[in-house]
Structure formats: structure tokens, C-alpha cells
Amino acid sequence: MMLKQIIVQGLVKNYMNGKIQTPVLRGLDFSIEKGEFVSLVGPSGSGKTTLLYVLGGLEDYQEGSVLVFDKELKTYSNLEKAELRSKKIGFVFQFYNLIPNLTVYENILLSAVLGYQSSKEDILKILDIVGLSGYESYYPSQLSGGMQQRVAIARCLINEPEIIFADEPTGNLDYENGKKIMELFSHLNQSLGKTILMVTHNEETTTYASRMIHLLDGKVIRDERKLR
Ligand SMILES: Nc1ncnc2c1ncn2[C@@H]1O[C@H](COP(=O)(O)OP(=O)(O)O)[C@@H](O)[C@H]1O
Ligand SMILES: [Mg+2]
């Protein structure tokens, strides 16, 4: 039985610049099933980031419907949206977004405070999963980019999200570090069963995904599933 976690139908999103309306998402239809690893690709400006923000309840939309965990996003209250983002969906960004004057441990703890309460053991266990055992007292500036991205992934994992949204998570990393981060996402998907929706524009990283959705000018132009 396939469990659909996200169902998008006829999604239209416009940005308003003064009185000028700029269409960004122009009628999208797709759904995402539990356990998929979806790579969202397309040229700069095609609407990839906007789509993640809409699906995460961070941006509204003008037409169509977006069901997230069987509930239309438009009917989520602000509190429900905040809970969705703190407990059900984890976000990972290109530039990590860690708080510089907090240690690795404190960065993760802060996220845990917003979501579920976690014990010290939970945090240490998650640091182990991302390959950062022993680094809990380090500050972000003492870590390489690849390690900082691991902290950001640990931070998103602490509240046990069902879906992880990642926006070009390897975009700031060299090839080797990027590859390690992709292997970590692959592990989260295959071993921990996390659904992943990841924006990438490096075609190589798409080898880890089970499906590729191609966006162009706010439309899905191709949607391919791979056997793996
Ligand atoms: N806050 C905003 N206000 C107005 N236009 C925006 C805003 N954010 C993005 N856009 C426009 O929406 C389009 C899609 O942007 P984006 O979703 O960031 O694309 P991608 O992530 O694929 O590069 C672009 O044309 C961009 O200029
Ligand atoms: Mg983007």
C-alpha cells in the first residue's frame, strides 16, 4: 500500500511586485509517497525553492490544492503549520543556517526545544548517525563546510521528521564532501525510511534518488522514476 504524504493538484503561485503579478508555479500536479527520494531539478529561477517553501507552509499559493499528511495546507492554522515544520518536516539549506555562537550540541538542542523534548542521549545518538561523534562542543566556525552540513542534518533529524526537504544541500561543498552528504541522505532514506525531496542541480547527485522531477518555468516537464 502506497502512502501519499504530499498531493499537489493544479498548484499556482504568483509573486506580487507592486502591482505586477509574476507567475512562479504554473499549475503543478504530482504526489510524493512515503519512502521516496525525489530529486527536484531545473535551471535557476524555475521555481524549485518556491515549491519547497509552499509545501512546507512557508509561502502561500493562489490556486490548486496541496495536501500534506492528508490535510489541505490552506486549512492548517499557524500553530499547525509551525508544528508541521518543527516536527513532521525537516529543512536543510545550502548554507547550513547554524547559529554561530552556539555549539554543535546547543544548535541541535535548540531545535529539540522547538519540537519534541530530547535527552542528551538522543542528541549524541543523532551525532553518531551523521558521523560527528565527539564534536558536540565544537562551534560551527571550527568545522568544515561538510561537517557543518552534517550538524544541520542532525538538527533536522532530532524531531524525527517524516519528510526532509533539502535545498541544494551540497551546493556549497566540494565533490568529496558533497558525495559524503549524499551518501548520508541515502542512508536516511534507505535505512531510516525518511522521505526526501531534494533540490539539486548537479546531475551526478541524482544517482542517489529514486525519482527525478524536472521543473522548467514553473511547470513539471518530466517526472521519471528509477528502479533501484
Ligand atoms: N520573494 C520573491 N518575490 C518575487 N519574486 C520572487 C521571490 N522569490 C523568488 N522569486 C522569483 O520566482 C522565480 C523562481 O524562484 P526560485 O523558486 O528561487 O527558483 P529556483 O530555486 O529554481 O532557482 C524567479 O523568477 C525568482 O526571481
Ligand atoms: Mg533555489
Q: Which atom of ligand 1 is nearest to the CA of 46?
A: 22
CA of residue 52 to ligand 2 center, whole Å? 9
User: Which residue's alpha carbon is at the smallest distance from atom 13 of ligand 1?
Assistant: 45
What does the pLDDT look like over 159-218, one tens digit per residue? 999 999 999 999 999 999 999 999 999 999 999 999 999 998 766 667 899 999 999 999
Q: Which three cell numbers stand for residue 52?
A: 519547497
Domain boundaries, the chain: 4-225
Task: Answer for the pair 108, 56: CB distance below 8 angstroms, yes or no.
Answer: no
Q: Which atom of ligand 1 is nearest to the CA of 50?
A: 17
Residue 148: the pLDDT is 97
Confidence of residue 219 (pLDDT cuts 50, 70, 90): very high
List of residues 6+ apart from 147 with CB closer than 8 A: 132, 135
Task: State the Cα–Cα distance between residues 70 and 6, nearest whole angstrom.
Answer: 8
What does the pLDDT look like over 47-88, one tens digit per residue? 999 999 999 999 999 999 999 999 999 999 999 999 999 899
Task: State the Cα–Cα distance between residues 190 and 194, nearest whole angstrom.
Answer: 8
Q: Which atom of ligand 1 is nearest to the CA of 22?
A: 5
Cα R_g (the chain), whole angstroms:
17
Query: Is CATH 3.30.470.10 the right assignment for the domain spanning 4-225?
Result: no
Q: Residue 28: helix, strand or coil by DSSP?
A: strand
- Residue closest to 167 by CA, chosen among 101, 97, 119: 97
Residue 70: the pLDDT is 96
Residue 180: the pLDDT is 93
How high does pLDDT run on average in the chain? 93
Q: Is 13 in the pocket of ligand 1 (CB under 6 A)?
A: no
**pTM of the predicted model over 0.85:** yes
Task: Answer for the pair 42, 198: CB distance below 8 angstroms, yes or no.
Answer: no
